[in-house]
Amino acid sequence: MTSLTEAYIDSLAPNAGAMKNGRDLVKKNSFPVLRITADGTLLFGECKGSGKEPYRCSVDFVQPDSPLSRCSCPSRQFPCKHTLGLMYAYALGKPFEQAEVPPDIAEKREKADKREEKKKEAETAEANGEAPVKRKVNKSALTKKMNAQLEGLSLLEKLVLQTVQAGLGGLNKKSVQLIEEQAKEMGNYYIPGVQAELKGLLLLLEEEGNREAVYSQAIEQLIRLHSLVKKGRSYLEQRLADPEMPMDTETTLEELLGHAWQLAELKEYGRIRQSSELLQLSFLSYTDQAKGEYVDAGWWVNLQDGTIHATRNLRPFRAAKAIKEEDTVHAVVQTEELFQYPGEVNARVRWEKGTFRDASGLDYKAAKAFATASFPDVVKQVKNVIKNPLADRNPVMLIAFHSLEKVGDSFVFKDVQGKPLPINTEMIETPAKVETILPLLQADDLQDQAALVMFRHDVESGRLTAQPMSIITDSRVIRLLY
């Protein structure tokens, strides 16, 4: 808490706007009252708002690694700009007056302590062999739900077959509108994932411009939908026949159908890894139009075994303001429990409690050591993944390259054996263009380093290319995205 830095406060802020607003409050001298307790665990004060009464805000550092913000303002952003401003004021060295803990906060602290105790009791009870209350599944409700899901899949199948039978060339505004209505209807069958895939097709069809490219993508999407119907149906029918059967945790099928995995479920299925260390290699925030959400995606290397994990922080458009926007993480994250979602490559992970430590040269070296040295091996691995129509079409891999060369206007990686891997610079849309950054690097950075790359198979040209996301050297990560 004494080492409260601006960068740390930035990391607490829900978005860039909140950081700026918080700082502006300090600049505008909006805190007539700034106080701190003698033990330094509580900052509190008053902040002028637009109303008559000032907002009373406080930040509690009783648990130093997870400060708790409280404010009397009605903002849904958390922490709000007032509590952020309070912390900035402290970090920027504004004078704080020493004072006692106000009674309302003291009361809240007490309650929190009690809650903590209860939780502990429950945990010890569990450790002593008392089985935790197992979640009960309402079987008849589940059956009903799965029947509805099957019905939804049939609806989709009919739609796909109709579209294929009539041909993409014959689609007009009216028929696209019809599909749109069906997509909406799909919302009634507990398969939001399927609905999103259908919307993905719609977005393609509504696209203006290069018809030929659209056709190729639309065909791929139709194949994907068709496979989803078939796989989804056989899976659901199996589970319907045997309700005791566990959920599929090997593939992303459940997620594709639209299941939102809860941490408790993942725990139940044993998808937890104890004490892991993760280093973020790349970060990107993008918009998923089909699902109607912003996605803050991170790609991480597990420093124990080199697995490339992905994190996805989803912010649906409707609630985007109230959800924290994730940011680039430079530190190594240490987690006691790493929850791992089902999936083949780049399985999604999450953690509830993580601590940070500064990344060092050792970590970069460790990450680099996990990179695959032979391009043919990586390519084989990638092809094995993408041949499945339901798989992630853009696997992300860590490769070791010997050199980065230029071919005409484009680039190519070479491995130690001189085997090429063509570089694609247009797969991921970012304002900072990869092709403009690569030539700026130092010669050392382009020689015998590792790169995190995303693959894509282009159906039209039949080529497999990779876009570099980051270059990992012995001393740093050069982030080409964020």
- Nearer residue to another protein within complex by CB, 304 or 384: 384
Number of residues that bind another protein (CB under 8 A): 78
Nearer to another protein, 105 or 400 (CB): 400
**64 vs 420, beta carbon nearer another protein:** 420
**Shortest Å distance, C-beta 431 to another protein:** 4
Give the residue from 85, 57, 89 showing the smallest Cα distance to 70. Answer: 57
The one-letter amino acid code at 434 reads: V
- Of 26 and 266, which has the nearer Cβ to another protein? 26
Closest approach of Cβ 20 to another protein, in Å?
A: 7
From 97-105, 126-134, 254-262, 454-462, give the range in contact with another protein by CB under 8 A. Answer: 454-462
DSSP 6-26: HHHHHHHSSSHHHHHHHHHHH
Judged by beta carbon, residue 120 or residue 380, the one nearer another protein is 380
Residue ranges of alpha helices (H) inside 370-476 are 375-386, 434-437
Q: How far is CA 444 from CA 177, 369, 438, in A?
A: 54, 17, 12
Q: Are 11 and 327 in contact (CB under 8 A)?
A: yes
Q: Is 178 in the site for another protein (CB under 8 A)?
A: no
Report 387-406 residues binding another protein (CB under 8 A). Answer: 387-389, 403-406
Asked if 379 is part of the footprint of another protein (rule: CB under 8 A), the reply reads: yes
Rule CB under 8 A: is residue 422 a binding residue for another protein?
yes
Is residue 94 within the footprint of another protein (CB under 8 A)? Answer: no
Please report, for residues 42, 65, 110, 129, 353, the alpha-carbon distance to residue 62 in angstroms, rounded to integers and kept in the order given: 7, 9, 11, 31, 16
Does residue 48 interact with another protein by CB under 8 A? no
Per CB under 8 A, the segment of 32-40, 239-247, 353-361, 385-393 that binds another protein is: 385-393
Interface with another protein in residues 148-177 (CB under 8 A): 160-162, 164-170
Tell me which stretch binds another protein (CB under 8 A): 67-75, 101-109, 118-126, 451-459. Answer: 451-459
At residue 274, φ and ψ (nearest 5 deg) are -80, 155
Supply the Cα-derived Rg of the chain in whole angstroms. Answer: 26
The DSSP code for 136 is P
For residue 469, the tally of other CB atoms under 10 A from its CB is 24
Question: What's the start-to-end Cα distance of the chain, in Å?
Answer: 28
Within 286-325, the residues that bind another protein by CB under 8 A are 325
| Cβ-contact 228, 183 below 8 angstroms | no
Give whichever of 220 and 474 is closer to another protein, judged by the CB atom: 220
CA 242, 245, 251, 253 dihedral sign is positive
Applying CB under 8 A, which part among 216-224, 263-271, 332-340, 351-359 lies near another protein? 216-224
All residues at 6 or more sequence positions from 124 whose CB lies less than 8 Å from its CB, including other chains: none
**184: contact with another protein by CB under 8 A:** no
Nearer to another protein, 36 or 397 (CB): 397
Give the nearest distance from C-beta 171 to another protein in angstroms.
Answer: 10
Helix (H, G, I), strand (E, B) or coil at 237: helix
Among 182, 217, 227, 251, binds another protein (CB under 8 A): 227
Angstrom distance (rounded) from CA 310 to CA 301? 9
As measured in angstroms, the least distance from the Cβ of 15 to another protein is 7
What is the rounded distance in angstroms from the CA atom of residue 348 to the CA atom of residue 300?
10
The answer to whether 477 contacts another protein (rule: CB under 8 A) is yes
> Nearest CA to 421 among 401, 441, 450?
401
Question: Of 321, 330, 348, 365, which one interacts with another protein (CB under 8 A)?
Answer: 330
Using CB under 8 A as the binding rule, whether residue 209 contacts another protein is answered as: no
Q: Does 199 bind another protein (CB under 8 A)?
A: no
